[in-house]
């Protein structure tokens, strides 16, 4: 209930936020991440990519991570523009498109079923 009050969400480098980062994005809060090598340290980057902001909110060095977080915190106009874009796109993008995800999953399951029925797998 209070997530929308945050100016910026700074993600953990070694083990990214998963559900919490999703909740921050749903609330319109910019999530700054610095992905690592493992799956658990790349989740937030995937979430951010799904809303079309990977190039704006993903850092690739510790210095960039700090610089980006501070820049968003200090630049009210940019922060508001990010928040507006996240809120606007959350209903039209892939990240929160439950219906699209379900249709894709159903299609994949049908293809697997058909391939199994035909003896292909």
| pLDDT tens profile 54-78 | 888 999 999 999 999 999 999 999 9
Low-confidence ranges of the chain (pLDDT < 50): none
Phi and psi at 10, nearest 5°, equal: -95, 115
Predicted confidence at residue 54, as pLDDT, reads 86
Q: What's the pLDDT score for residue 65?
A: 96
Angle, helices 76-89/62-74, rounded to nearest 10 degrees: 100
Encoding tokens for residue 55? 């190039």
pLDDT of residue 66: 97
Widest CA span of the chain, in angstroms? 60
What's the rounded Cα separation, in Å, for the pair 36 and 82?
24
Residue 11 pLDDT:
94
Tell me the two tokens of residue 57: 């909110």
Which one-letter DSSP state was computed for residue 120? -
Residue 8 CB partners (closer than 8 Å, separation 6+): 29, 30, 31, 32, 69, 72, 73, 79
- Rounded CA-CA distance 63/50 in Å is 24
pTM for the complete prediction?
0.81
């Amino acid at each position: 209930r209070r997530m929308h009050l945050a100016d910026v969400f700074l993600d953990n480098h070694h083990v990214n936020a998963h559900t919490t980062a999703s909740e921050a994005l749903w609330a319109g809060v910019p999530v700054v991440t610095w992905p690592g090598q493992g799956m658990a340290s790349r989740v937030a980057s995937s979430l951010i990519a799904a809303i079309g902001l990977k190039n704006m909110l993903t850092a690739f060095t510790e210095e960039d991570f700090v610089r980006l977080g501070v820049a968003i915190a200090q630049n009210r106009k940019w922060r508001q523009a990010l928040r507006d874009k996240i809120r606007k796109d959350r209903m039209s993008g892939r990240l929160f498109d439950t219906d699209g995800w379900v249709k894709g999953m159903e299609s994949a399951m049908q293809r697997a079923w058909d391939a199994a029925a035909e003896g292909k797998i």
